[in-house]
Amino acid sequence: MPLTDLSPAECRAYRPELPVPDGFDAFWERTLSEVPADGRDAVEKPLFTAVDTGVTQVRTYDVTVPGFAGRPVHGWLRLPAGATGPLGCVVEFLGYGRGRGLPHEDLLWAAAGYAHLVMDTRGQGWSAAGGSTTDTDPGAAGAVPGFVTRGIESPETYYYRRVFTDAVRCVEAMRDHPEADPERIVVTGVSQGGGIALAVSGLVPGLAGVLPDVPFLCDFPRAAAIAGRPPYTEIAEYLRLHRDRTATVFHTLSYFDAALLATRATAPALFSLAMMDDICPPSTCFAAYNHYAGPKDVRVYGFNGHEGGAAYQQREQLAWVRSLFAGPRSGRPGHP
């Protein structure tokens, strides 16, 4: 498809104002420290159960992590067979609609010698791969089908408050895992997963690196106005129906804008984006990149859509992570 957004030069310079809502940092501090288990199928600690996949060179574990309000969030942990820890670790978040899939899939990071945790996204798993994590808080009636407007009436009830908390808990679970090096944890994801990775970069200090690809959940006001295909169009559809809720919607979304959370990041990052992307418009991805507060680099795929760099970007990431983990260990707060 042709270019439909700002020119490459304009994207490079695009740095929109990202208003910080009242109590932004306090909201996230409270969310991550004070949300108690509510008793509904709550789990107390991460569980790792070995799974026989028939693959001999990768060990796989069925993972259950206590996520938002202690509710179970599932995933797969894959470890290279015979490796001795602690290993560098990649925590991956998934694209919109995708679940964790089957245990023998997605072996790249483990084959490269790293621990690899993939987090199931609560309530999702209807598109490219199935999921097994439920979301028990659908929010008020009237949300557009999908997840972007679920609970959008308030930051307290918004869907991504739960998802971002789940993601932080998965990173914490791997920091405590005996086979993972807590100082060498990288977060990554494509599209929705890239947006979640950016959110985690601003919520979790001491990460080793961040790999967001064609990130979703960035610069919501512009994205809702110009995106040609879902999921951002769910916001526009919601506001088409609820004409009196525009201010409320964008106030809620401001607490979850991954471009704003990225202004709190300190870890080095390697971004990727695509200039013909009509799902996550390149200007919105550049908003996150240009505001990202840590050391950063970007790979731009000029003639690709939302598929982005795909295997080409994986090649870039493998080299980048190998170089990153080969460097000196900087230590994170509370660790020598």
Question: From CA 257, how far away is CA 124, in angstroms rounded?
Answer: 20
Question: From CA 328, how far away is CA 115, in angstroms rounded?
Answer: 19
- Residue tagged 């084959």 (tokens): 111
Known active-site residue 154: no
Q: Give, for 333, the enclosing helix (H) or strand (E).
A: none
Question: From CA 23, how far away is CA 21, in angstroms rounded?
Answer: 6
**What backbone torsions phi and psi does residue 20 show, to the nearest 5 degrees?**
-90, 115
Please list the pLDDT of the chain residue by residue as tens digits (336 residues): 678 899 999 999 999 999 999 999 999 999 999 766 666 677 889 999 999 999 999 999 999 999 999 999 999 999 999 998 799 999 999 999 999 999 999 999 999 999 999 999 999 988 667 787 888 776 766 778 899 999 999 999 999 999 999 999 999 999 999 999 999 999 999 999 999 999 999 999 999 999 999 999 999 999 999 999 999 999 999 999 999 999 999 999 999 999 999 999 999 999 999 999 999 999 999 999 999 999 999 999 999 999 999 999 999 999 999 999 997 765 444 343
Active-site position among 5, 181, 219, 277: 277
Known active-site residue 291: no
Within 10 Å of residue 170's Cβ, how many Cβ atoms? 27
Q: What is the residue type of 247? A: A
CATH number of 8-326: 3.40.50.1820
Q: Where are the domains of the chain?
A: 8-326
Known active-site residue 306: yes
Q: What pLDDT, on the 0 to 100 scale, is given for residue 333?
A: 41
Active-site position among 135, 166, 191, 201: 191
Question: From CA 16, how far away is CA 257, in angstroms rounded?
Answer: 12
Q: What pLDDT, on the 0 to 100 scale, is given for residue 125?
A: 85
